[in-house]
Amino acid sequence: MKLQQLQIFQNLTEEELEKSLVCSQAVVKKYPKGTYIFRQGDTPLKLYFILEGMVELGSINLNGKITRSSYVTVGEEFGEVELFLRQSAYSGYAKAKSEVSVLEVSQNFFGGICERNCVHHSKVVFNMLQLFAEKAEKHNRQIEVLTSGNLRQRVAAYLLENCDPDYRVRLHMNREDLAVYLNTTRPSLSRMLLTLQDEGIIRLVGRKVIEITDYERLQEEE
């Protein structure tokens, strides 16, 4: 993904983009699969945008068990909660799920008023506000899915929410990760998907695509 395609830089000219990169002290860094971008307890200093790959976000309890996890991919940002709430440490970790390339933006860029009153600075800050609003809406949708009722209803809500105009759901996570997202186990999720397929409501197309074959019946499951 090119820097110009990041939502934070939308509506900026090439010149404004270059100036923004200088003002923000932004750098592009690559992380091999399995390496940490930051660990739980590290000091928040940067905001991160994914240019390539996928990042796992999670937290670990005192017993060393992962208590929550989610995934962000190309074009998405992470690390903003602790950074903008000025917390002293990250409440979780960020680890490269695959080889990733990220744009790292210094907190100083967002911490005060630009001395030169740069137009591009104002545009970037406005774009960030829009990003956060969209992310809040996304989290609200996830809450709706998780509170949809039993597992069958949660699966139906997830599929309906994420299907394309061609009635296909293209998964950006594996079955185990999707099970965590839906607050269930992988075997339970697999059984439910097979049940829906046997009933002619969906069709499993490989490991990453689910086709909705009876949209109206799936709607009735919510």
Check whether 79 has a pLDDT greater than 90.
no
Comparing CA positions, the residue from 206, 210, 184 lying closest to residue 197 is 210
Query: Cα–Cα distance between 132 and 130 in angstroms, integer?
Result: 5
Spatial CB neighbours of 110, under 8 Å, sequence gap ≥ 6: 47, 83, 84, 125, 128
Check whether 20 has a pLDDT greater than 60.
yes
Judging by beta carbons within 10 Å of its beta carbon (0-12, 13-18, 19+), is residue 59 exposed, middle or buried? middle
Reading the block at residue 9, the tokens are 């830089």
- Please, are residues 1 and 75 in contact by the beta-carbon 8 Å criterion? yes
Among residues of the chain, what percentage have pLDDT more than 70? 80
- Please, are residues 46 and 77 in contact by the beta-carbon 8 Å criterion? no
Weakest mean pLDDT among 18-22, 34-38, 47-51, 119-123: 119-123
DSSP state of 152: H
